Chain A
């Protein structure tokens, strides 16, 4: 018997939706604050006010002021720009290289594959952070050189993931069909193989963004990343460290900002992973 009074059963929510929604809202919030920092921030992030140094959080300065009297809230907001930018470039550059290497390596195999996978083995033999520090050390401190180091080091994870997917996909029937129809390799790779290989890679990319941002902030903290007076969260924490006993807020708020941004990234990554698991 059909119960005519009941409405259509609510569609079961796909797993991971809640995580993706909460994480997405956090990330969107940070994106808006980063892009709108010029209008949202109450002060110029680099405006020095020597009469108001080490001021505790107050209505005029909700996050307090630092050792040069700069407004910590404004610096945190402007810092979001640098740290989100780090995550963006630090993921996209290795991702692009990793996709190119993984596709060619997995699809064509042979000597290129051998050589590329040996290069991957060698790169992962180094502890990630050590190799990045060493490369930055050779090139000199700075954000640009951090990106170069990442491009040199971080592509291997993506290349491995893509290659593993491609090895499975190139035996799939629809790829065989495309080959039989005489499509050129370029079309098969980019129109047929790549879109289907991206799933797990995109899940990993969100977690990777977190690692890249944390490593970048660590470099800033060590004096090897973004350079003062740039408002970058790691740099700000290093600035505040000598004053942490009398002015905890200089260190505290940039770190809290990093935690919330990281939370957003992990939630999205987890949600996507759950969804992917169910889809399989």
Chain B
């Protein structure tokens, strides 16, 4: 069963990555200037109080022991406390996460169908007018700063035409859809070009492969070759796109949440960096990385399930 051994190997390869992620997020607070406990307790804390918390967090121990204390806490779901919100970081993340997930789901709902359509059209009309037009769009889209696009779209469709709200995230499902429309579109307009370029290349590669030549030799019409053979073989490149998307989706959500004042993880991240709320920055960075690793893992496992040749 090569697939089982592949899954096993893939899961084992996670261990060093997860350990590495935890070390890096540990170092983020460890290496930050200033005493995080002083920040946590405020300027008027007594030395005894500071000493007590230092002891509780194990900050008087050598660094490697501190790391194990940190890991122990993380495994119990304790990511430390926020200075600004006076709440456990894990609670904050749970509170802010749904907005970002909603935004990311929204962006994907726009991005994936649009990417598929544009990439298929571009690949089928390779180097002809439609392909050139799509190429122009992708080149322009990639060079646009997403926050700039967001500010301008907000001004025109939000302030001038009044079609969409330009801040917050609304009430109820339709409220969210309405409020997050412009943020989702801004992110998509920048993400689609990136993905179309990627998928178009993969499709063209399929179109030039031996099995397509064989189909043509058999006399199959181009349309059937494309739908029955090329599209089916393009499931894997598409799935692979999802893996590429995650990091860009997360990065894009950060700026867009700031522009449109969406109270999501990205806005929390930036606010915490500016407010020197180190444990929130640390916890979020860890959470983002673990999330990304899980998505990549899912994509790899799905790929292995669809294509048994993977990983041999």
- What is the interface of chain A, defined by CB distance below 8 A to chain B? 118-119, 121-122, 125-131, 133-138, 140-141, 210, 214-215, 217-218, 221-224, 233-234, 237, 240-241, 244-245, 248, 251-252, 254-255, 258-263, 265-267, 270
Contacts and interface: CB of A to CB of B under 8 A. Distances in A.
A125 B293 CA distance: 6
Interface residues of B, number: 51
A-side interface mostly: helix
A203 to B, nearest CB: 13
Given A119-B20, A221-B255, 5 more contacts: A121-B16, A125-B296, A138-B33, A215-B251, A218-B146
A130 B143 contact: no
A134 B33 CA distance: 13
Nearest to B296: A125
B69 interface: no
Contact of B151 (A126, A141, A241, A261): A241
Contact of B143 (A140, A210, A244): A210
B84 interface: no
The interface centre, meaning the residue of B13, B33, B274, B285 with most chain A CB atoms within 10 A of its CB, is B285
B142 A122 contact: no
B270 A126 contact: no
Contact of B251 (A118, A129, A233, A261): A129
Contact of A127 (B16, B251, B259): B251
6 contacts: A126-B21, A126-B285, A137-B28, A224-B273, A255-B151, A255-B152
Contacts, number: 157
B17 A237 contact: no
Interface in B149-202: 149, 151-152, 154-155, 159-160
A173 to B, nearest CB: 29
A270 B139 contact: yes
A126 B289 contact: yes
B31 interface: yes
A248 B155 contact: yes
A85 B304 CA distance: 44
B251 A125 contact: no
Contacts of A244: 151-152, 154-155, 159
Contacts of A215: 251
Contacts of B154: 244
Nearest to A132: B251
Nearest to A237: B148
A127 B250 contact: yes
A215 B255 CA distance: 10
Given A125-B292, A244-B155, A221 B147 contact: yes
The interface centre, meaning the residue of A118, A130, A210, A224 with most chain B CB atoms within 10 A of its CB, is A130
